[in-house]
Amino acid sequence: MTDERTLADLLARATELADDVQPPVADLLRRGRRRRSQRTGARAISVAAIAIIAVAAPQAVRTLDHHGQPPGPVALLPGLIPSGSPPAASGPTGAQIAGFRWSELPSAPLHTTQPATVAWAGNELLALGGPVNGRPSPDGAAFEPATGRWHQIAPAPAGVKLGFATSVWTGSQFFVTDLRSSCQGSSQGKSPSACGPLAGLYDPATNRWSTTAVPRSLQDFGPMTATWTGSDVVLAGVSSHYRLKVAAYDPAANRWQLITPTLPAGHSPAYATVAATARQLIVWVMWQHTRSLHNGFSIRSGIDVFALSGNGTWRDMTGRWLQHQTMSTPTVTSSGLLVSPGEIWCGDYCSPPPAIDPGYFTRPDGWHRTDVPVSPVDAAFPAYIWTGDAIIEASGPITEHTTTGLSIRPARLVVLDQAASRWRTLPAPPTRFFFAAPPVWTGTELLLLTYHDHLYALRG
Amino acid sequence: MARDAEFAEFVSARYRALVRTGLAMTGDSGRAEDLAQSALIRTYLAWGRLHGPGNAEGYARRTLIRLALRERQRRWTGEISAERVPEHGPLTATGPPDPDIAIDVRRALAALPAGQRAVLVLRYLDDQSEAETAQALGISAGTVKSRAARGLASLRRAGLLEREGERRD
């Protein structure tokens, strides 16, 4: 049997579907008709909008009601732009963390393979959602290091999907939403009433959820990133129609505001991420531009950077920002923005060589960059965890190709001793399970939740 | 309406095949269904200019692949969900049924660059020609060949394509 036929046979076997995967014909027709009518309406609206825009000055900021209708322009929501000081260095040093040891803690009472969302909520670890018997679960649990115990929390309300959740801790509530599957879930259990989209806010103090309707213009989004500015949750993402959207939600006023910056002509957005520094909100947009030529295609790509300051206008901050390195959400630290290592960014249809650029610190005033030393862990996508004074780099157990087949490489963690400017090896977690999420730093210790709900702590 | 009737028939016939393509691209059945449905809704919107199910099939498949490429979420571990850790040792396409073969194949595919994965899925799961694959991905036939060769070489190095005859030896 040739390699091609062997692969065809393997692919056929690996993609066998259960009998209950059936075409949701009626639902697709209903959604298709609705999208078609929306598109027809949008064409008429755009003609009118062009006329209006030609008369009125373009506004950088618009508010949205919960039906997605853009009313007139308003002033920037007060307090949206942070005005505090950057976080001060705190916590144990890298040298101290290098002496920490692992402890096994009680397992999470979730009965899922992998929770959908894991986050540190001030004084407890929250783990929500995940598949249970093949179905998405609304259940959640919280672990308090102070008591060493888990407790169940109120399940997420119907309509708050957790499958591909975007979440952020606001200081008192846990904001979570899943805009991707809100109206595009699997064929099972779908109904218009469950189609949302809703965002949920969980308050650990009362063990209660509240919900807010997400503007319709934010539906149909891919992975979004979220940040908390001190008054607003800000979401940034790119829709399946290659449209950038940046939105702010003020939980106190239960108000959404669309604050999307305008991209340069020809820049088609692919991914976006957002971070709030002490003085401004910064959005990074990975873009690409594909042009057909008579003998093939031409692809350009890069990263646009915009900053929203207190006067409510976006400023193009791209400047010297590195254009060829992918990026995840930077961490705001006392030493500037910490950017994790990334691969080469050359557009979605490009297969770059497997090279990883190092992580680095940078500041908005010129984007001067200070590289973080390359760690001894040869991980393709390491996660940086900022402790307040040190960087922990974590690489979970991964499957590797070897000459004898696939094998498991154990998890590896290292910590950067900034004083000595060198990485120190941390003890390996006592588990072969994959990590359910990047480890979480609590301020004094590192918590690690793995598949099948096992919990470990690296503590001094 | 004729459009709706034709589309309903098309969905009934092709839905599972599209989900399988999505599953090979993402390794996740839920995301695969999301992708198939997103691609089908776009196909519905474009139905008038596709002039029939023959063109619609290529359009839906092309849309699904492009959505999958764009939707790649940079999960920090680069891993896909699995109920258990796979055992060590080479994998084979023949021999007694292996309940973990699906997980192993999806993991091996997930380790490939997205462009190579798309080429292998279109060529060897969807049985598309080099020209059709090139058109679907917006690349040249030469690039299809080189990506397929590189992808096969990677899978061979991983032991995924070990041949039955060699294994017996």
In tens, the pLDDT along A160-194 reads 888 778 889 999 999 998 876 444 444 344 443 34
Whole-number percent of chain A with pLDDT over 90 = 33
Among B16, B85, B140, beta carbon nearest to A408: B85
Q: Check residues A265 and A408 and name the one with the higher pLDDT.
A: A265
pLDDT at A62 > cutoff 50: no
A257-288 tens-digit pLDDT = 999 999 998 898 988 999 998 888 999 999 98
> A154 CA to chain B: closest CA distance, Å?
25
For residue A201, CA distances in Å to A229, A233, A234, A257, A272 come to: 16, 11, 14, 17, 23
pLDDT at A342 > cutoff 50: yes
Question: Mean pLDDT lowest for which of A210-219, A363-372, B97-106?
Answer: B97-106
With beta carbons less than 8 A apart as the criterion, state whether A175 and A210 touch.
no
Q: Check residues A100 and A396 and name the one with the higher pLDDT.
A: A100
> A139 CA to chain B: closest CA distance, Å?
19
**Residue A348 corresponds to which tokens in the numbers above?**
């979605």
Q: What is the 3-state secondary structure (H, E, C) of A171-204?
A: CCCEEEECCCCCCCCCCCCCCHHHHCCEEEEEEC
Q: Which of A385, A388, A386, A382 is nearest to A412 (CA)?
A: A382
For residue A241, the chain B residues in CB contact (below 8 A) are none
A107-132 tens-digit pLDDT = 999 887 778 788 899 899 999 987 77
With beta carbons less than 8 A apart as the criterion, state whether A416 and A390 touch.
yes
Question: Mean pLDDT lowest for which of A146-150, A343-347, A359-363?
Answer: A343-347
Mean pLDDT of B29-38: 85
Mean pLDDT of A48-66: 38
With beta carbons less than 8 A apart as the criterion, state whether B109 and B122 touch.
no
Inter-chain CB proximity A380 and B91 less than 8 Å: no
- pLDDT, residue B73, reads 42
Type of residue numbered A147: T
Nearest residue of A to residue B89, measured between CA atoms:
A405
- pLDDT, residue A346, reads 81
**Residue B80 corresponds to which tokens in the numbers above?**
């896909």
Mean pLDDT of A210-222: 81
Q: Which of A431, A34, A59 is nearest to A258 (CA)?
A: A59
Inter-chain CB proximity B93 and A187 less than 8 Å: no
- pLDDT, residue B45, reads 82
Question: Mean pLDDT lowest for which of A123-127, A272-276, A376-380, B15-19?
Answer: A376-380
Nearest residue of B to residue A12, measured between CA atoms:
B125
A288-341 tens-digit pLDDT = 887 766 666 677 889 999 999 777 889 999 998 988 888 878 899 888 899 988
Q: Check residues B133 and A294 and name the one with the higher pLDDT.
A: B133
Output the pTM of the full model. Answer: 0.63
**Residue B102 corresponds to which tokens in the numbers above?**
């699906």
Strand order across the beta sheet in which A383-386 lies? A383-386, A391-395, A412-417, A422-425
Average pLDDT of chain B to the nearest whole number? 74
Using a CB cutoff of 8 Å and minimum separation of 24, what contacts does B50-57 make?
A: B52/B6, B53/B6, B53/B9, B53/B10, B53/B13, B56/B10, B57/B10, B57/B14
pLDDT interval class at B164 (50, 70, 90)? very low
Residue with tokens 């999907």: A161
Length of chain B: 169
Average pLDDT of chain A to the nearest whole number? 79
B67-90 tens-digit pLDDT = 887 765 443 333 333 333 333 333
pLDDT at A65 > cutoff 60: no
pLDDT at A99 > cutoff 80: yes
Inter-chain CB proximity B15 and A381 less than 8 Å: no
For residue A378, the chain B residues in CB contact (below 8 A) are none
pLDDT at A238 > cutoff 80: yes
**Cα gap B71→A244, rounded to integer Å:** 14
pLDDT at A410 > cutoff 60: yes
**Cα gap A222→B71, rounded to integer Å:** 6
Give the CA-trace dihedral at A343, A346, A348, A349, to 10 degrees: -120
Tell whether the torsion through CA atoms of B137, B139, B145 and B150 is positive or negative: negative
Nearest residue of A to residue B15, measured between CA atoms:
A23
**Residue A4 corresponds to which tokens in the numbers above?**
């091609």
pLDDT at A54 > cutoff 50: no
For residue B128, CA distances in Å to A378, B135, B145, B168 come to: 37, 10, 13, 32
Q: What is the pairing mode between strands A117-120 and A125-128?
A: antiparallel
Question: Mean pLDDT lowest for which of A237-251, B33-47, B69-83?
Answer: B69-83
- pLDDT, residue A425, reads 93
Mean pLDDT of A38-42: 55
For residue A7, the chain B residues in CB contact (below 8 A) are 93, 120, 124, 152, 155, 160-161
Among B78, B81, B104, beta carbon nearest to A406: B104
Mean pLDDT of B11-21: 91
> A365 CA to chain B: closest CA distance, Å?
28
In this prediction, does ipTM exceed 0.85? no
Residue with tokens 């599953």: B23
Q: Check residues A392 and B42 and name the one with the higher pLDDT.
A: A392
Inter-chain CB proximity A32 and B83 less than 8 Å: no
With beta carbons less than 8 A apart as the criterion, state whether B56 and B47 touch.
yes
Q: What are phi and psi of A291, to 5 degrees?
A: -130, 130
- pLDDT, residue A140, reads 93
Compute how many other C-beta atoms are within 10 angstroms of the C-beta atom of residue B75. Answer: 13
Among A15, A21, A290, beta carbon nearest to B24: A15
Compute how many other C-beta atoms are within 10 angstroms of the C-beta atom of residue A37. Answer: 10
Mean pLDDT of A137-149: 93
Nearest residue of B to residue A184, measured between CA atoms:
B34
Q: What is the pairing mode between strands A446-449 and A440-441?
A: antiparallel
- pLDDT, residue A444, reads 92
Inter-chain CB proximity B107 and A4 less than 8 Å: no
- pLDDT, residue A254, reads 93
Inter-chain CB proximity B34 and A181 less than 8 Å: yes
Burial string for A205-221 (b: 16+ CB within 10 Å, else e) reads: eeeebebbbbbbbbbbb
